[in-house]
Structure 1
Amino acid sequence: MADKGKDLAALYLSERKRLERQIDRKVGCRSTASDLVQDIFLRLWEKAVEWKGDSAAYLSRCARNAAIDHLRAEKTREAYLQGELPEPFSEPPLSPHEILAAEQNIRHIDEVLASLPEKTRHIFLLNRVHGRSFSEIAGVMGISSRAVAKHMARAVAALDLSATGVNNVD
């Protein structure tokens, strides 16, 4: 490993200025170019790469890629600071009225589901909440897929009727 360290140090001393100039031309900042060259050699040290072939060409490619990555990161950073990138949850916060309405809707749905027969409610929850198919539910509950479809139709109809304001669930 000592030979690799000496080889890398010699390579750094011989190539550093050339790589800094190459990167500086792309990014326009001597300090950034110096940092990127140090990062390149740090990565080489961590990988303990054995050089086969032209190390100058390999380092030039590394410098080019480091400059491109830096410019992309800067562009993304600038766009974010200027608000060009969408924020993950960019919708405005809900008003207290909207929160209250949503809570009331959830309570109403819970009431409608509670009023359904237990088997129908169970089938509905298996399908809509847990994502089970009709055939999977039929297999677990020991009924036909057609019976599952009927229970689902009953549950969906009850929810639809409650949404329209009709409170007749049977």
Structure 2
Amino acid sequence: MISDPRAAMADGDDEAARNDAFTRHAAAMRGPLLAYFRRRVHDATECEDLVQEVFLRLTIRGTPDHLDGANGYIFQTAASVLADRHRRRLVRHADDHVVMDTDMHGGSDFDPHRIAAGRQALFAAAAALLTMPERTRTIFLLKRLDGLRYQDIAVQIGISVSAVEKHVVRAMQHLMIHAGEER
């Protein structure tokens, strides 16, 4: 059976009018939605994004059949957006993140002169390490680079803890002497 084209057009006009009315109603709800999110979200900069997410979801889902419950539908969508935000933040541990304080941690200074000086100091330290007796160098590297305890080094090398301490002191003195010569 062929339906009446005028009836189909009238149904299309009714749906377009309903969509238009819902769009105007949703736009009027922007202020209350912002207030809703501001009460629930500590970061005020996110509120506008959350409102946009509500409008995006409303656009994707389409309009409800009846505009009588439009406010409830809109705020139900807002609650869903808020719940999704909360889940994302939990998974990403967003509340555990700390903003980097450049005063406390220093800025990123990529000054070429500073980088060159750092490389030069590193090469000087490596050269000084190579001029140490092998056993002293080994003990120093086990302590400073590997982070082993004096007792563990003593067991590994087969000497007393006191001897390990003396080797580390000698290595530090050797490095300080070579650092003084470089300046």
TM-score by length of 2: 0.48
**Aligned pair 1:33/2:54, yes or no?**
yes
Counterparts of residues 56-67 of structure 1 (less than 5 Å): 62-66=80-84
TM-score by length of 1: 0.51
Indicate the residue corresponding to 2:69 in structure 1: none
Unaligned ranges ≥5, structure 2 = 1-24, 38-46, 62-75, 89-93
Bigger Rg, structure 1 or 2: 2
Aligned residue in 2 for 1:55: none
RMSD: 4.2
What amino acid is aligned across from residue 32 of structure 1 in structure 2?
Answer: E
Check 1:37–1:145 CA distance in 2 against 1; reply closer, same or farther (3 A cut). Answer: farther
- Per the alignment, residue 125 of structure 2 pairs with 109
Amino acid at match of 1:65: A
CA contact (8 A) 2:54 2:77 kept: no
Shift of 1:134: 0.7
Identity %: 24
Q: Is the 8 A contact 2:137 2:171 kept in 1?
A: yes
Q: Shift of the alpha carbon at 1:101?
A: 2.1
For 1:140, the aligned partner's letter is Q
Distance between the aligned counterparts of 1:38 and 1:143, measured in 2?
76
- SS of 1:165's partner is helix
Alignment match, 1:153: 169
Aligned length: 118
Question: CA, structure 1 residues 28+146, in 2 after alignment: closer, same or farther (shift >3 Å)?
Answer: closer
In structure 1, C-alpha distance between the alignment counterparts of 2:162 and 2:117, rounded to whole Å: 36
